[in-house]
């Protein structure tokens, strides 16, 4: 018999044989990795005190502290084959949308405090959209668009009864396995081998490996914890940035945007200024804009790894008012709402090229 298990206060339906079997399978897989689990416990002892107050500040349940164990084994320098980086494994475009900086000198996905703050804003968005922390966890893994598609097709909103792809179908159970092993391992003596029980019973000494020490010195740990505990979170509003994060398959969540046609470019080089004319009237960041208004955009980044181009506009000239406004916009993929567009061939960059823009 398995003990009662909860995720973010939601009871896991272990009376269902398939659910119980998946949790046991996740537990067994983890208990086959004695040394790896021990090292993760060491990191958790050190990093959970940083992660927990940030979760609490954003009103994200503390059970999500186990999510980066699944994503990266709590290793800041972790890189996935697809290019996701850091403790919370953000892809470059998603990281930029969440406000994390990535350039040749540093990558804030490897900063525990900043990436955890970004992950919390992302998780709050997912929860507000889906109404369930279990579904929010699933959407973190597979994208909200794909998950909403499964919900609509199957007419089912309970994670445990949804038919999902193999990775997402196992994702929450992997999180639960870490939670149970780290917080309630004695209840699983019939499942956990003796050698793993010995590892789990040992007092955990925080990992002080050089790699993580460089990333998070003790003075930064202390300051980050104080800041997380003392900084209030502003309540989310319908127009707030973290409630309007573009996501995969964003036909479900991406609305608005304005269209602008390229009239002048100075080359596909970082820092170059391109000029666009709006093709129709619309709204941008609460301001009325009109057809013919002029957008001045800078080539912010060219990411060869993801084959994407990032264009940012800081100013818009109103043709009717004869006045230049400060207006922060980014070019987005019209099919997904994500910041960044597919890197074009040089000969495509010519007068007449139309892009979709959205306020930051």
Q: Does the pLDDT value for residue 91 go beyond 60?
A: yes
Q: Does the pLDDT value for residue 209 go beyond 60?
A: no
For residues 70 and 78, give the distance between their C-alpha atoms in angstroms, rounded to a whole number.
12
Q: What is the DSSP string of 31-86?
A: HT-HHHHHHHHHHHHHHHHHHHHHHHHTT--GGGGGHHHHHHTT-TT-B-TTS-BT
For residues 277 and 78, give the distance between their C-alpha atoms in angstroms, rounded to a whole number.
42
Output 223 or 244, whichever has higher pLDDT: 223
- How would residue 203 be classed by pLDDT, with cut points 50, 70 and 90? low
Mean pLDDT estimate for the chain = 80
- First-to-final CA distance of the chain: 51
pLDDT in the model for residue 213: 32
For residues 174 and 69, give the distance between their C-alpha atoms in angstroms, rounded to a whole number.
9
The tokens for 356 are 């979709």
Q: Is pTM, for the whole model, over 0.75?
A: no
Which of 48-57, 250-259, 350-359 is predicted least confidently? 250-259
pLDDT in the model for residue 196: 81
Which of 119-128, 233-242, 281-290, 305-314 is predicted least confidently? 233-242
For the stretch 145-153, contacts whose Cβ atoms lie closer than 8 Å and that sit 24 or more positions apart, written own/partner, are 145/247, 145/248, 145/249, 145/250, 145/251, 145/252, 145/253, 145/336, 146/248, 146/249, 148/249, 148/252, 149/249
- How would residue 346 be classed by pLDDT, with cut points 50, 70 and 90? low
- How would residue 231 be classed by pLDDT, with cut points 50, 70 and 90? low
Q: Does the pLDDT value for residue 81 go beyond 90?
A: no
Cβ atoms within 10 Å of 18's Cβ, excluding its own: 9
Environment class of 334 (CB within 10 Å of its CB; exposed 0-12, middle 13-18, buried 19+): middle
Q: Which residues of 314-330 are buried (b: 16+ CB within 10 A; e: fewer)?
A: eebbbeeeeeeeebebb
Cβ atoms within 10 Å of 283's Cβ, excluding its own: 12
Helices 112-130 and 218-230, axial angle in degrees (round to 10): 30
For residues 175 and 329, give the distance between their C-alpha atoms in angstroms, rounded to a whole number.
37
The tokens for 326 are 């400060």
Q: What is the DSSP string of 116-158?
A: HHHHHHHHHHHHHHHS-HHHHHHHHHH-HHHHHHHHHHHT---
**Mean pLDDT along residues 261-271:** 79
- How would residue 239 be classed by pLDDT, with cut points 50, 70 and 90? very low
For residues 254 and 171, give the distance between their C-alpha atoms in angstroms, rounded to a whole number.
26
């Amino acid at each position: 018999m398995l003990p009662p298990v909860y995720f973010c206060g939601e009871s896991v339906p272990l009376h269902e044989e398939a659910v119980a079997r998946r949790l046991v399978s996740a537990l067994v897989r983890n208990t086959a990795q004695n040394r790896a689990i021990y090292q993760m416990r060491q990191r958790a002892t050190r990093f959970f005190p940083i992660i927990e107050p940030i979760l609490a500040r954003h009103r994200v349940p503390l059970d999500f502290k186990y999510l980066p164990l699944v994503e990266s084994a709590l290793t800041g320098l972790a890189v996935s084959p697809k290019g996701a980086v850091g403790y919370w494994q953000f892809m470059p475009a998603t990281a930029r949308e969440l406000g994390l900086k990535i350039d040749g000198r540093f990558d804030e996905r490897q900063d525990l405090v900043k990436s955890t703050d970004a992950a919390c804003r992302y998780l709050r968005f997912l929860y507000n959209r889906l109404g369930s922390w279990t579904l929010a966890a699933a959407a973190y893994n597979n994208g909200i668009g794909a998950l909403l598609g499964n919900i609509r097709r199957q007419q089912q909103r309970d994670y445990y009864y949804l038919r999902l792809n193999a990775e997402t179908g196992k994702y929450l159970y992997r999180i639960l396995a870490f939670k149970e092993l780290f917080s309630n391992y004695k209840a699983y003596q019939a499942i956990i081998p003796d050698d793993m029980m010995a590892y789990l019973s040992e007092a955990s000494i925080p990992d002080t490996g050089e790699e993580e020490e460089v990333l998070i010195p003790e003075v930064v740990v202390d300051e980050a914890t104080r800041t997380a505990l003392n900084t209030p979170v502003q309540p989310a509003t319908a127009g707030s940035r973290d409630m309007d994060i573009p996501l995969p398959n964003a036909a479900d969540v991406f609305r608005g945007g304005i269209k602008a046609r390229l009239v002048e470019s100075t080359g596909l080089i970082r820092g170059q200024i391109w000029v666009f004319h709006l093709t129709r009237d619309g709204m941008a960041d609460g301001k009325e804009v009109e057809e013919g208004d002029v957008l001045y955009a800078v080539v912010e980044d060219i990411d060869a790894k993801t084959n994407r181009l990032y264009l940012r506009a800081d100013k818009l000239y109103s043709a009717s008012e004869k006045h230049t406004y400060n207006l922060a916009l980014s070019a987005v993929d019209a099919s997904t709402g994500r910041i960044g567009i597919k890197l074009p061939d040089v000969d495509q960059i010519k007068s007449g090229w139309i892009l979709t823009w959205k306020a930051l």
